[in-house]
Structure 1
Amino acid sequence: MADDTSIEPAEGDAIVVTTAKRRITRKTAIIGAAAAVLLLGGGGGAYMMFAGDAPAEAEAPAGAHGGGGEAEAEGGHEGGHEPFDVPPIMVNLRSVDGAAHFLKVHVMLVPGPKATEESLKARLPLVLDAYQPFLRELRPEDLAGSAAVFRIKEELLLRAREALGEGQVDGVLVQDLIQQ
């Protein structure tokens, strides 16, 4: 006797094969959408981080930065001007425990294309006045870690540009940063 569960088609019958349809549930759709957003956001963030300002610098002609290698060899940077020395600044740091903490900062300003040494000397009190409140508000915890110097440099550059105007300062070089 033949197995009752097997069905054999007769000679003129057509065989129809159907597959089970997969339904996309709401949970699967949400997970897929979140993954797509993360991939697009991560890709865009990586592009912005690695691209940054590099294309503008790469497209500049070879002699666009004040003579190329000659200015860098003579002046130490692209602008051709010597960095301007700012006198050391010593401030008290804010502390929660009431103990005395001091910070001594010695920086140099890299002049911009519109700056002259005389104009920087004449407006130096404005720069020092802009630096004092920022430095006094720092806490000892703000100076911990490898990124602290970078954050301080960026803030000092921002304040120097606000005090002197655009095109006057291209950078801030930290000579000493001593916490006691």
Structure 2
Amino acid sequence: MHRRGVGVQISEGHQGMSSPEIIEEGAEAANAAKPKSKKKLIIIIGAAAGVLLLGGGGGAAFMLTGSSAKAESAKDAHAEKKDEKKAEGGEGAAAGKDAFLDVPAFMVNLRSPDGQARFLKLHFMIVPADGVAVDDLKEKLPLVLDAYQPFLRELRPEDLAGSAAVFRIKEEMMVRATATLGDGQVKDILIQDLVQQ
């Protein structure tokens, strides 16, 4: 009877070794290869994690730095605008351009011959002369209003009739403002409301 055996090819390096020795050597080689591949895998994963962390940290730092830089530039721009407004306000007030002192509306009694109660409601604005600040006029406003009271209380209802009355009242108010504040302080008086009741 002829027996067939399982043919195993043995390489030149393994000649003279028994098959269990060959199997053990193959297992050791596989085990030696596994740690190297595991080490490579760990190194690759570690490097990728490091890149991600550095990239994420760098991106976050860039975002935070960019945001703070934007916030600082916005604050600087806002401060510059404030300074410009102050400078414009100061120059505008000093130059008398677009600077008006709005005097709140007030009422005075009118003199009437029949003894009936009549009132005059007046709202006006003072235009400062060139080189005069609105704040300076605002401080002296009580003196101006005090100078206007006797004149306005002496008006009669017929003094307010017609468009010429407004010009006359403006003129008288201008004279009294100049007398109270001094020459070159008030440029004009703008009457906003003049209502007789």
Q: TM-score range by the shorter chain?
A: 0.5 to 0.7
Report if the CA contact (8 A) 2:96-2:132 is conserved: no
Structure-1 separation of matches of 2:169 and 2:107 = 15
Amino acid at match of 2:192: Q
Report if the CA contact (8 A) 1:161-1:168 is conserved: yes
For these two proteins, the number of residue pairs brought into alignment is 105
Structure-2 separation of matches of 1:124 and 1:84 = 9
Change (3 A) 1:155 1:167: same
Structure 2: any 5+ residue segments left out of the alignment?
1-87
Structure-2 separation of matches of 1:136 and 1:174 = 17
Q: Which residue of 1 aligns with 2:136?
A: 119
Q: Which is greater in Rg?
A: 2
Structure-2 separation of matches of 1:87 and 1:148 = 21
Q: In the alignment, does 2:176 pair up with 1:159?
A: yes
Deviations 1:129-174 (A, max 9, x none): 0110000000001001120000000001111111111111000000
Paired residue secondary structure (2:104): coil
| TM-score, scaled relative to structure 2 | 0.51
Report if the CA contact (8 A) 1:81-1:111 is conserved: no
Amino acid at match of 1:128: L
Equivalent position to 1:84, from 101, 111, 114: 101
Q: How does 1:54-69 map to 2 (within 5 A)?
A: none
Deviation at 1:82, TM superposition (A): 1.1
Deviation at 1:89, TM superposition (A): 2.0
Deviations 1:94-132 (A, max 9, x none): 000000100000000010013112211110001000110
Q: Which has the higher helix share?
A: 2
Q: How does 1:28-177 map to 2 (within 5 A)?
A: 79-177=96-194
Structure 1: any 5+ residue segments left out of the alignment?
1-70
| TM-score, scaled relative to structure 1 | 0.55
